[in-house]
A and B are shown apart, each in its own frame.
Chain A
Amino acid sequence: MSELVAVTIDDRPVEVPKGTGLVEAAQAAGVEIPVFCYEPRLGPPVGACRMCLIEIEGMPKLQAGCTLTATDGMVIHTAATSAKAAEGQEATLEFILVNHPLDCPVCDKGGECPLQDLAFRYGPGNTRMTLPKLTVDKPIPVSPLIALDRERCILCYRCTRFSEDVAEDGQLIARNRGARTEIATFEDEAYRSPFSGNVIELCPVGALTSTLYRFAARPWDIQNVPTICTACPVGCNVSATIREGKVKRILSRNHPEIDRGWLCDKGRFSYPHLRAEDRITTPLRRGKKGLEEITWDDALDSAEEMLRNAGGAIVTALSGSETTEIAYALGRLLRGGHGAHSAVMPEATSTALEAFHLPLSAIGDAEIIVVVGDDPVVERAPIVDLWIKEARRHGAEIVVCSPAGDLATEPGGAAARCQELATPRDALGKKLRAAERAVLIWSGPGGGGGARLAELAHELGLEEKAGSGAFHLPATANALGAAAAWAASADADEANPEPIELLIVSGDEAAADPSVRALAEEAKRVIVLTMFHELAAGWADLILPSTAALERDGTTMNLEGRVQRLRRAVPPPCPDELAWIAKLAARFDVELASEAPGVFEELAGHLFRDLALDDLGLHAPLPARQTYETPAPSSSLPAASPAASLETEDGALRLQRFRALFSGPAVERVAQLDFQRPDAEVELATAEAERRGITSGDAVFVRSNGTSVELRARVNRKLIEGVARIADEHASDLHAVVEVVKA
């Protein structure tokens, strides 16, 4: 317990810990100190807007309350008890409104605008500004996602501070000075950052607005539904703004341990995929004339027939985007009803990391963070990247062991790196052992779903240290929950049917997966559950429309191992999966609840130690750490991992693919997100580029076995030699070994 100091605010005495900011101290006393620029998540206060002017006894001038901390005996007067403070606050508001356009009736922010609220409470009732206001062109597209109205801007610098000090992209800047100061991007380029949308929520006025939400609703005709983002395994807490049964925007719903109120643009802006042109809402069956729309009754009849004919020779491909309940219901139907135990999982998962649970926020407090794995953290779990940046700002040592990291590591070399770190004489390993707050992160494929990392964490003794822990960043939102639910749905070993009579593809990620497509070639019949026509039209015998996460009730388990509640924000345009799975299951005498709470209740007994859905609340708790159990040994030893063992010919490079954050079926269906998708480029080490006479920006051909792709070269001086790095969506059919030549 830190030392308490006694302060008096508007005649109310209150005790707060020493160092508490006056805004918070006032809150503790039940008093408001109004603010615009003050936002503790953005770092130290700047005292720019002067909204928080207060009178402090013993100080002749008004003070910016947000910049000061409580000291013992301080006597503070806000506008409520000081005419001087009231005059100061009214002055600030008058100045702010001098050039403000007062176009509230057509402003998106109107009705949920701090400037409106504070002008009402503290502002002058009339205007004394009779001279021409400062006017500028508007709105300015800061990017395809964000529109900037510089007349509304009150220059609180929240957005530029976010860009500079939180996202650390340094793209939003203030330029010019005085009354002509304006927010801009360098050279007026589009603000391209995975986190750009946060500035819209930070903006205390209607200066930064979402191009997707502009003029779409008024605050009094919307509802906000609390749910969970499923764009990645972080599971940020969000609110979906609903108007007339449609999702109009996504807002953050600050879970201090997970997201601190930040969202990435994929989570914030990909919701229009719910109304994509090729969204399927009616079942489709392949007939003589190709795919034909059929009724749900027919669809269930067909599914039943296919299941009966398959005789158990069924393989199920899961996406990792199912709710835990859907994965469980599918398991009960297929495994319980048909003995169809064979499944293709999106990725390996492991429970070994449960011994090293930590809230994500603990990353921000770490002394040392070691990241292993081929993929940049931001591409897999963007919010984790923000926590790492925060740790660095606090002075933490960050070591990234990857092909383009601080400690150059071969592609696929993460497991070997972990073994090195575990040896007693490894210098970095020693630091990890010595630290009180050490965090390990696996960001990339392989590693047994965290099992290899857990072995390292155990070797380093991290389970004994409360501030230390380890995270595996899965590729999909609910890989952990789906795998656990599938496993819990029956008690039998997997068998590999040969031939495959029926392949069931659950979800868009599985439908888009080339290895699943390959299985479909083998299978006699294929049922695909998908949202989009394009993903399954060419190869499915029966297509059942899927719902989107925003249309689902249920739970997911994020990368921390936290179970969180999805709430249905909008009704789906087709029956919910759980409803028809229950119907279908009944035909095979499998009894299943048709709604998420019922399924969860059954599941909780198996999986969640009888956790109740209500326990999850709006901000779900993190389960306690489990005792460490040695995971199953690695099936592929690191030395023999495929990428590392590839023999490359002279001049050939190993292709390192990565799945970009802005990729996948949802992102591809939102035109405004196109500019965020990865550039068509290949990254090369400086030496590799020089050897080929290539410089950044050159057009190059990347070739392998008859496939050739033209891309732009980018020299990445941190990248190791022998590697060509390309985003999945631009690597098309390239093989594992490629050559790169100047076009």
Chain B
Amino acid sequence: MPERPQIVFAGTNGGALTQFEDYAAVGGFAPLRKARSMAPDDVIAELESSGLRGRGGAFFPTGRKWAFVPKPDQLAKPHYLVVNADESEPGTFKDREIMLRVPFRFLEGCLIAAHAISSQHVFVYIRGEYEQEFEVLRESLEAMRKADLLGGVTVVIHRGAGAYICGEETALLESLEGKRGQPRTKPPFPAIAGLYAAPTAVNNVESITTVTSVLELGATEYAKLGVENSTGTRVFSLSGDVVNPGNYELPHGITLRELIYDVGGGVPGGRELKAIIPGGSSTSILTGADIDTPLDFTSLVQAGSSIGSAGVIVIDERCCMVQLGIRVSQFYEHESCGKCTPCRVGTRWLTQILQKIEGGRASQPDLDLLLSVCDRIMGKCLCPLGDSDAIAVLSYVDRFRDEYQAHIDLGRCPFDGESSLEGILAPSAMHESPAHGIARV
């Protein structure tokens, strides 16, 4: 078994620290006091030297992100900290467990971050479906308020209404402002003109929670964990064809084999491992041959994928890669916000072409068209959503070309009805729009 240092979940012993006293007893709130005794810039410097990078998927250095926020004397506007708790990436379910089990560590991190960017206003934008998590946060916040720990900072927990796109930071800000959740064009970046056109840092739940730990351990201690370029631990969400799915906090750099077999108990029924999606549905797929790839930023880039949100999806031999493509593409088609053309149109088109291939009606040019449409989406959209679909589908064809070719050559799906996607990404039930008509004129 790999070593399992607990940083985010420290002190929980597998349980939850939802009582104020229990959290205080394991050293809670000391990091906040320590941060507040430091100058904001020193907190930022500490974060930069810890090497902590964003856990939402983009892996951007947290300290550097904060450094981009203008100082109060540089821009006389309110400064905002916005926490992205709209966790919706298929295969990713870590933030909810963090909020449920260590809500105080998370909220403490919010206050530390607010101090670092000189903000008096924190907004936690939480996925609407996370009702229990919302209640836990609310109670925890209340306890901290009673303990007089907020230090004049207003913390608002805002519930989303069910849109994947609102996990994209600028769409999240639009939604928070009460507008339709659609991404903004950048620049300006949120650090300069974010929420209400004021300087804003947007961070992920796990990143913010880890901030508390970095302050507690000190940057040097923290940076000893993990590997170069990917310090510290990561909460991996393990799902799919695996014996023990769940969230596991492990240091960066452990291998897929260690995660899937040693921790996760391997593929059920002794079936063969076919593929792994290592960082949530938006990342390129890996094959069973990549099983010894370490889970860190650099290694996964070298393997042609990325660490993304660390949602590791295990896929066994029963899965048809065209069906997987349809499921993923349907998800992005369903969640495309509709603002920019390539994503709005392209994601639907990809699904249509994939369905044609799966249905055995496709000929060779259709496969070329599939790849060409992916190409025409990639790098041309307003935000990463459309690219995510294209990246995923391209990687399925790239790594499992023979299987796609077989669909065309056979004129049917080689798995017939036997393929299983059970447990591999939730199907996106397409909500058909009711027939709308403007009747009242």
- For residue A141, CB closer than 8 A to chain B, the reply is yes
- For residue A91, CB closer than 8 A to chain B, the reply is yes
Interface contact A189-B440, CB-CB below 8 Å: yes
Which chain B residue has the least Cβ–Cβ distance from A89? B380
B160 CB to nearest A CB, Å: 14
- CA–CA, A176 to B339, complex, Å? 11
CB-CB under 8 A for A179 and B347, given A131-B352, A137-B437, A141-B438: yes
Contact pattern, B 402-441, Cβ under 8 Å of A = 1, otherwise 0: 0000000000000000000000000000000101111111
- For residue A48, CB closer than 8 A to chain B, the reply is yes
Q: Which of B84-92, B280-288, B319-327, B328-336 contacts A (4 or more CB under 8 A)?
A: B328-336
Interface contact A180-B338, CB-CB below 8 Å: yes
Contacts of B338 in A (CB 8 A): 155, 174, 176-181
B396 CB to nearest A CB, Å: 19
Interface contact A180-B433, CB-CB below 8 Å: yes
- For residue B138, CB closer than 8 A to chain A, the reply is no
Q: Which of B185, B349, B352 has a CB less than 8 Å from the CB of A64? A: B185
Contact pattern, B 48-84, Cβ under 8 Å of A = 1, otherwise 0: 0000000000000000000000000000000000000
- For residue B401, CB closer than 8 A to chain A, the reply is no
B165 CB to nearest A CB, Å: 8
CB-CB under 8 A for A50 and B342, given A92-B380, A128-B369, A177-B336: yes
Interface contact B349-A190, CB-CB below 8 Å: no
A70 CB to nearest B CB, Å: 14
- For residue B96, CB closer than 8 A to chain A, the reply is no
Q: Which of A148-181 contact B (CB under 8 A)?
A: 148, 154-155, 157, 173-181
Interface contact B436-A184, CB-CB below 8 Å: yes
- For residue A460, CB closer than 8 A to chain B, the reply is no
- For residue B156, CB closer than 8 A to chain A, the reply is no
B56 CB to nearest A CB, Å: 21
- For residue A46, CB closer than 8 A to chain B, the reply is yes
- CA–CA, A53 to B341, complex, Å? 12
CB-CB under 8 A for A88 and B380, given A131-B353, A143-B441, A177-B163: yes
Interface contact A45-B185, CB-CB below 8 Å: yes
- CA–CA, A330 to B339, complex, Å? 58
A367 CB to nearest B CB, Å: 20
Interface contact B380-A178, CB-CB below 8 Å: no
- CA–CA, A637 to B277, complex, Å? 83
Contact pattern, A 339-376, Cβ under 8 Å of B = 1, otherwise 0: 00000000000000000000000000000000000000
- For residue B371, CB closer than 8 A to chain A, the reply is no
B193 CB to nearest A CB, Å: 11
Interface contact B185-A67, CB-CB below 8 Å: yes
Interface contact A129-B342, CB-CB below 8 Å: no
Q: Which of B323-376 contact A (CB under 8 A)?
A: 333-342, 344-349, 352-353, 356, 369, 372, 376
B231 CB to nearest A CB, Å: 27
Interface contact B382-A64, CB-CB below 8 Å: yes
B364 CB to nearest A CB, Å: 13
Q: Which of A87, A91, A134, A178 has a CB less than 8 Å from the CB of B337? A: A178
Contacts of A98 in B (CB 8 A): 345, 349
- For residue B180, CB closer than 8 A to chain A, the reply is yes
Contact pattern, B 298-310, Cβ under 8 Å of A = 1, otherwise 0: 0000000000000
Interface contact B440-A188, CB-CB below 8 Å: yes
A174 CB to nearest B CB, Å: 6
- For residue B381, CB closer than 8 A to chain A, the reply is yes
- CA–CA, A67 to B335, complex, Å? 24
Contacts of A675 in B (CB 8 A): 441
Which chain A residue has the least Cβ–Cβ distance from B366? A130
- CA–CA, A173 to B179, complex, Å? 11
Q: Which of A509-548 contact B (CB under 8 A)?
A: none
A591 CB to nearest B CB, Å: 55
Interface contact B438-A140, CB-CB below 8 Å: yes
Interface contact A91-B381, CB-CB below 8 Å: no
- For residue B5, CB closer than 8 A to chain A, the reply is no
Which chain B residue has the least Cβ–Cβ distance from A148? B438
CB-CB under 8 A for A178 and B336, given A64-B382, A88-B380, A129-B349: yes
A337 CB to nearest B CB, Å: 53
Contact pattern, A 27-70, Cβ under 8 Å of B = 1, otherwise 0: 00000000000000000011111110100000001101001000
Interface contact B341-A95, CB-CB below 8 Å: yes
- For residue B379, CB closer than 8 A to chain A, the reply is yes
Contacts of A142 in B (CB 8 A): 438, 441
Pick 25 A–B contacts, CB within 8 A, sort by A: A45-B185, A48-B382, A49-B340, A92-B342, A94-B376, A128-B369, A131-B349, A131-B353, A136-B435, A140-B437, A140-B438, A144-B441, A155-B339, A155-B341, A174-B180, A176-B338, A177-B338, A178-B334, A179-B347, A180-B433, A185-B438, A187-B440, A188-B440, A189-B440, A190-B438
Instruction: Please name 13 further chain A to chain B contacts, defined as beta carbons within 8 Å, in addition to the given A131-B353, A173-B180, A180-B338, sorted by A numbering.
Output: A50-B341, A62-B380, A87-B376, A88-B380, A92-B342, A132-B352, A141-B441, A142-B438, A177-B337, A178-B335, A178-B338, A184-B438, A188-B439
7 tightest A-B CB contacts, nearest first: A181-B338, A91-B376, A47-B185, A178-B336, A95-B345, A188-B438, A179-B348
